Homo-oligomer: A and B are copies of this chain.
Amino acid sequence: MVKQRLLLACPDQPGLVALVTNLLAQAGADIHELDEHAEAGKFAMRIVYSCAASEQDKISLLMHQTSNADWQLRIHAADHKPRVAILCSQEDHCLADLLWRFKAGELSGKPVGIWSTQPLHHHLADAYAVPLHHTPVGDGGMPVHERTLLNQLDGQVDLIILARYMRILSENFLQEADVPVINIHHSFLPAFIGANPYQEAHERGVKLIGATAHYAIPELDAGPIIEQDVVRVAHRQTPEQLRELGRDVERVVLARAVRAHLEDRVVVWDNRTVVFG
């Protein structure tokens, strides 16, 4: 028996669950988890099942035959490990955390490289045996930088993680990269969009600070939110202390979002996400 998972997003129509679960039942598959959500004419479903090794290709084939242009369908072995690029700048708390989680097996993926705009992070790259690429933003500015990244990433990765990468990637980059890009923003969006949220949070006197992981889209900090969390703060905290407390939230929020994505738990509907638990 092999363990598989199936993620489907498509226009809603009656009988979809029966259609798919029949197909699985006829292949002798055993369903472990099934979660479904339908809303406003849209349908999403995630199934984890076991089947005989000899049946897995048949299930996949039948599902893809059933599928049509409107369907987004992903079928993966439970131990599927997408290739992941981590982009970062100066700060390394998310980087260190992600590398630890990939090594510990908490994140089901393979980090194929770290791309850093700063000549830093060698000790982490060495400790976790992940290739480090120093890709500064030089005289050519972002266009040259993005071209360098695209050349190196093209076809090599299934996911790009912006682990406190402090540059704004262009619409062109996102299109050419043609893989999902997950960013961690250091505020509870939509509050405090932009570069300096902890300073703004301090000035506004909020009592909680947060972090938001979202898919990057051309519009800054406006992409579909995958995960958010907050931590309580008080008048005592300086902006620098907010930054420190915020790191703890950034780490776990980014890790949870990456995990959900890697385990095929996330469906994007318009600018929102369905995240199956």
Contact = CB atoms under 8 A, between A and B. Distances in A.
Interface stretch (A68-76, A159-167, A170-178, A203-211): A203-211
A24 B229 CA distance: 38
A141 interface: no
A31 B38 contact: yes
Given A124-B127, A207-B227, A34 B17 contact: yes
Given A100-B96, A206-B228, A225-B205, A38 B28 contact: no
Contacts of A204: 189-190, 225, 271-272
A177 to B, nearest CB: 23
A230 B230 contact: yes
Nearest to A224: B205
A206 to B, nearest CB: 6
A275 interface: yes
A135 interface: no
For the complex formed by this chain, how many copies does it contain in all?
A: 4
A39 B238 CA distance: 9
A37 B189 contact: no
A14 B38 contact: no
Interface of A is mostly: mixed
A35 to B, nearest CB: 6
A225 B236 CA distance: 14
Interface in A4-42: 14-19, 21-22, 24-25, 28-39
> Which 3 A-B residue pairings sit nearest by Cβ, starting from the closest?
A205-B272, A127-B127, A18-B25
Given A14-B31, A190-B191, 12 more contacts: A17-B17, A17-B31, A31-B36, A33-B37, A34-B34, A34-B35, A106-B247, A205-B224, A206-B228, A207-B228, A208-B210, A236-B277
